[in-house]
Amino acid sequence: MDAIVLLKEDHKTVEKLFKQFEKAGDDAAQEKRTIADRVIEELTVHAWIEEQLFYPAAREAAPDTKDHVLESIEEHHAVLWMLSELKGMEVSDERFDAKMSVLMENVRHHVEEEEQEWFPEVRKAMGRNELKDLGERMEAAKADAPKADPLAVPSA
Ligand SMILES: [Fe+2]
Ligand SMILES: [Fe+2]
């Protein structure tokens, strides 16, 4: 699969989970826990494959994306720390919903920048075959990603 298509599919999966979380009632503690745990796993794996493979390849193919990549890494850093806090926090904690809400704002902003501001430059610079080859390596790397440990991603 094309690397950028793969990343956008991940973004959609996460957005669906965010919508589910927003729809869950105030007392749906069990459901919120399940959704939050899936968000933690999806975003940890996603950040991992971006940092291990996509971001370095993007910088090499399109050096002008350097500042976007560096900003993205700092955004990952903040998100990964929030994920690690959510992991250890009870849903009943009065800070839980607020932390999820700030996480969602951060991730939505980050995804919008990736998709609108600099992924198109990477697509132009790489071409179809390189994107496909990179996508295959990213798909395979998902198996090695630290699923339940956000702080094991390099930018954390
Ligand atoms: Fe990212
Ligand atoms: Fe992303």
Question: Cα(50) to centroid of ligand 1, in Å?
Answer: 6
What's the pLDDT score for residue 148? 87
Question: Cα(64) to centroid of ligand 1, in Å?
Answer: 17
Answer yes or no: is pLDDT of 27 > 90.
no
Residue from 11, 7, 31 nearest 21 by CA: 31
Return the ligand number nearest the Cα of 73.
1
pLDDT in tens, 104-152: 999 999 999 999 999 999 999 999 999 999 999 999 999 999 988 999 9
Q: What are phi and psi of 106, to 5 degrees?
A: -60, -45
pLDDT in tens, 41-98: 999 999 999 999 999 999 999 999 999 999 999 999 999 999 999 999 999 999 999 9
CA 10 and chain centroid, separation: 8
Return the ligand number nearest the Cα of 80.
1
Residue count of the chain: 156
Name the residue with tokens 């990179």. Answer: 134
Q: What is the pTM of this model?
A: 0.97
Question: Cα(27) to centroid of ligand 1, in Å?
Answer: 31
Residue 106, token pair as written in the block:
């951060």
Question: Cα(116) to centroid of ligand 1, in Å?
Answer: 12
